[in-house]
Amino acid sequence: GYKILQGSTAVLFIYYIHRDPKHFLDPDRFDPDRFLPENSHDRSAFAFVPFSAGSRNCIGQRFAMLEEKAVLSWILRRFKLKTSQTRDELNLSFEIILRSEHGAFVQVEPHDMTKHSIEIDFSENIEINHPKCVHGPTLLFNSLTSKFFACSACRDRQECDIFISYEKRNEKKSKKIIEQNEREYEKFKKYIQTLQKNKKKFNKQLNM
């Protein structure tokens, strides 16, 4: 055992808990399939604890996971992501969360933006389709995420109860909401164009 002096602060090193080969085969390899139910059913509940564990774990865990899935799905349906750094080039900082001190550079390449490629199927998600969610699934996301989803639906002219509340029964309000979403989408397009211009400038500076 170890002797711990009174008044000491003990901190769990989550980084290594999540890379324990006893629970995660080849832990440094990117393998999302390791979290599938059939691959994790016999894994200890304390082997993966990004939100802590026990009676005092993060109360926002379920909300955060839903939001992460929604945002990542939105991004990955539209863009291919490539790293432009090796792991050795990342200077990791161990604080409340693990992060890179100087950020992480990612190359973004757009996918083919067809309507089929961005269709989102919420039909099998019981929580999202819960009948008590009177204003629809946007309750599960923050306002900015909801706007992005709404803009996509508006752009592709999808009939969509997901992003427009049940006020759509009122035609005037429905039209107003759609027009607002179109304006938001135009703003979002300009924002993307600005990002692309900045990317070109950044690439020129790198090649100087």
pLDDT tens digit sequence for 6-23: 999 888 888 889 999 999
First vs last C-alpha separation in the chain: 57
Q: Which of 30-34, 73-77, 193-197, 202-206 has the highest mean pLDDT?
A: 30-34
- Whether the Cβ atoms of residue 40 and residue 24 lie closer than 8 Å to each other: no
Write down the pTM of the prediction: 0.47
* Measured distance CA(35)–CA(59) in Å, rounded: 21
* Measured distance CA(113)–CA(166) in Å, rounded: 28
- Number of other residues whose CB lies within 10 A of the CB of residue 166: 10
Mean of pLDDT values over 169-176: 60
What pLDDT score does 24 carry? 93
Residue type, 106: V
* Measured distance CA(140)–CA(67) in Å, rounded: 7
Q: Give me the percent of the chain exceeding a pLDDT of 70.
A: 66
Mean of pLDDT values over 47-54: 88
Least confidently predicted of 36-40, 104-108, 113-117, 172-176: 113-117
| Residue closest to 78 by CA, chosen among 207, 170, 189 | 189
Residue 194's pLDDT band, with cuts at 50, 70 and 90, is confident
What pLDDT score does 176 carry? 72
* Measured distance CA(208)–CA(204) in Å, rounded: 6
How many Å separate Cα 161 from the centre of its chain? 22
Q: What is the DSSP string of 30-52?
A: --GGGGSHHHHTTS-TTS--BTB
What pLDDT score does 127 carry? 38
